[in-house]
Chains A and B, each alone.
Chain A
Amino acid sequence: MQKSVGPPKRDEAYNFAYLDEQTKRMVRRALLKAVAVPGYQVPFGSREMPLARGWGTGGIQVTASVIGPDDTLKVIDQGADDTTNAVSIRRFFARVAGVATTEATGEASIIQTRHRIPEAPLRAGQILVYQVPQPEPLRKLEPKEAETRKMHAWGDYGLMHVRLYEDIARFGRVATTYSYPVLVNGRYVMSPSPIPKFDNPKLGMCAALQLFGAGREKRIYAIPPWTEVKSLDFDDHPFEVQTWDEPCALCGAADSYLDEVITDDKGSRMFVCSDSHYCEERRAAGHVGRLLGSETGQKLTGGAKE
């Protein structure tokens, strides 16, 4: 299953990767600062983009500022390469940057993502670009920007743990399942974007560079490679990730994040890998899930592809 597409012809009506060079330099300066101060939200002059705010304009500006003609781009949304917005953003860069695109995690030099970190470990030299809707992890506790900036400056993060305390008191466990806050490099509390907390352990000591772009909120932040990232918790209620009672119904993986697919109107459901490329690779290697041969399994693996 060859999933890479060679470089298409670039639309010459626009500058390479859409943004003008001046803007790219501005974004790169913000990125450098973000890398120098891991987890710190750097304000930047976010431009208005031809895609809607909230649809990945931050990630697109970051990608546009770091991408070169030799890069190979992978775009995922919810872990999958074939979700509508991922397709749309991949088309955008194929058109304005004329770069090669791929669905293979290992082949990509830049991966733009919304809501997931690929299952396969990333390697040195890769860049993972996150689309971020709300960069401020404290926003739900304190709506005022002037106040949250002070809280960050002073490392005044007690309120965050009060929220965790309240969850445990009420539910017996922390009830945050995505956008689970982390402490980066022992200094800044950061929102990992709405990835499931299942992915949080992949944030720390990662070989790849992780860049976060929030277009509407005009913030950029970063986790440099090999940086310590700790999910907030209590000593006696350590951070834990989601688990499922069954493996992926298509490839049998027991170590991946699963999407739930409802298969009829009588409550039947199946669980499948959210990382579509990971699932494909496993099936190509001969792994067979419980429902791969079923009508549903066939539809999901073959029917829904373009």
Chain B
Amino acid sequence: MYVAVKGGEAAILATHDLVAETRRGDPAVPEIGTEQIREQLGLAVARVMNEGSLADSDLAALALKQAQGDAIEAAFLMRAYRTTLPRLGSSLPVDTSAMTVRRRVSATYKDLPGGQILGPTYDYTHRLFEFDLAGGEGRAPANVTPAEQPLDPRMPRVPDLLGDEGLMEPETPPNGDPKPFDLTRDPVEFPAERDVRLQALARGDEGFLLGLAYSVQRGFGGNHPFAGEIRLGEVAVEIVPEELGFAVDVGDLTLTECQMVNQFKGSKDVAPQFTRGYGLAFGHAERKAMAMSIVDRALKGRELGEAATYPAQQDEFVLYHSDNVEAAGFVEHLKLPHYVDFQGELELLRRLRKELEARIRREQDEASRPTANAKAGD
């Protein structure tokens, strides 16, 4: 068939039916429920919440189901929905030092107040298949023994400990503590300030940020990070309703926070101190939070007077290319018809080739004439 890609409405509607059919797969296999996705594919749900910029595990589970598990398509669904939601208010900053911790590790101290809490982690699994998982139903619930003593409620954040000693760069709000930039409402301009950068990183593609962070570590970027602390747990979200004038707890959020401690900076006048890279993510998303914190630190180079030589250090490069919904849209738009532009290129190419052939023929004709031979002998 040579008919150009011209599809009527019926053809488009048919694609939706075909998607529904392939999404369901073999009807003999029971359909998956969104609660199952939410409860049993929690890390995938966290990724969709992060890259979709919306903390709603039920919607993220639905997005994953609707997108057949495609994380970027699912994030896209979340974003498209999120943009239609009214803004009822802003929460107060969450206090991660008051987190109900389930996991907390520091690579910088052997022991510290509150201790090292391993919590749920794949770190020490041996990546050997647990074939009985494939069996499905009828498995005994996991055997988790509660600790004999509750966790120490004092669980100070490592950078705060360093800060008490004056060894960590202080991070204070800018003058007047202005409302942070909102990159979903206003166009980003460069150079981008830290609030913009952190927002973009928080919704940035995990794979892209991971690659950038890795590039920093391998030498395409100057700093050597130490995982000062990674913590996972629940924090309270509070808002101050205008009519009440005091903070009201509206629920808990599961968050992963990573603070990287980086090599010190100083000058003749400023005493040397460590610098910080910050990562925060919805749900259990350790890799994302770590990658984010390394890239955040790399992007601080401008404020710290470092050269921005490598991709991870260039805010325009990182911010423009880390949004996977935008990136996927633009890469995939190449599927759309481009035959008008392509026709222009075809026409030009044919014309240029014709002109070149004509010129070569002309030169050959001239070369075969006797006068030209004499010239060649000069």
Assess A/B contact in the complex (Cβ within 8 A): yes
- Within residues 188 to 203 of chain A, which ones have a CB less than 8 A from any CB in chain B? 194-198
**B196 CB, nearest partner CB in chain A, Å:** 13
In whole angstroms, how far apart are the Cα atoms of A79 and B184 in the complex? 32
Main SS at interface, chain B:
helix
Whether the pair B346, A178 counts as a contact (CB closer than 8 A) is: no
Whether the pair B329, A54 counts as a contact (CB closer than 8 A) is: yes
Among B27-35, B62-70, B347-355, the stretch that binds chain A is B347-355
Among A63-71, A84-92, A230-238, the stretch that binds chain B is A84-92
A216 CB within 8 Å of chain B: yes
A116 CB within 8 Å of chain B: yes
In whole angstroms, how far apart are the Cα atoms of A198 and B340 in the complex? 10
Whether the pair B2, A263 counts as a contact (CB closer than 8 A) is: yes
By a CB distance below 8 angstroms, the chain B residues around A109 are none
Q: CB within 8 A of A304: which of B4, B189, B341, B344? A: B4
Q: CB within 8 A of B343: which of A46, A57, A87, A260? A: A260
Among B8-16, B149-157, B216-224, B257-265, the stretch that binds chain A is B8-16
By a CB distance below 8 angstroms, the chain A residues around B328 are 52-53
Number of interface residues of A (CB under 8 A): 67
User: Interface code A61-82, partner B: CB below 8 Å = 1, 0 otherwise?
Assistant: 0000000000000000111101
Whether the pair A115, B184 counts as a contact (CB closer than 8 A) is: no
Which size bracket describes the interface of B in this complex? Answer: 35 or more
Main SS at interface, chain A:
loop
By a CB distance below 8 angstroms, the chain A residues around B173 are none
By a CB distance below 8 angstroms, the chain B residues around A263 are 2
14 A/B residue pairs, CB under 8 Å, sorted by A: A48-B325, A49-B80, A49-B83, A54-B329, A54-B331, A55-B329, A84-B6, A114-B336, A175-B348, A178-B340, A197-B344, A296-B2, A304-B3, A304-B4
B25 CB within 8 Å of chain A: no
In whole angstroms, how far apart are the Cα atoms of A91 and B15 in the complex? 15
Given the known inter-chain contacts A77-B336, A196-B340, please indicate yes or no for A83 contacting B2, CB distance below 8 A. no
Whether the pair A48, B80 counts as a contact (CB closer than 8 A) is: yes
Whether the pair B329, A216 counts as a contact (CB closer than 8 A) is: yes
By a CB distance below 8 angstroms, the chain A residues around B316 are 144-146
Whether the pair B337, A242 counts as a contact (CB closer than 8 A) is: no
In whole angstroms, how far apart are the Cα atoms of A196 and B339 in the complex? 10
Given the known inter-chain contacts A45-B185, A84-B12, please indicate yes or no for A52 contacting B339, CB distance below 8 A. no
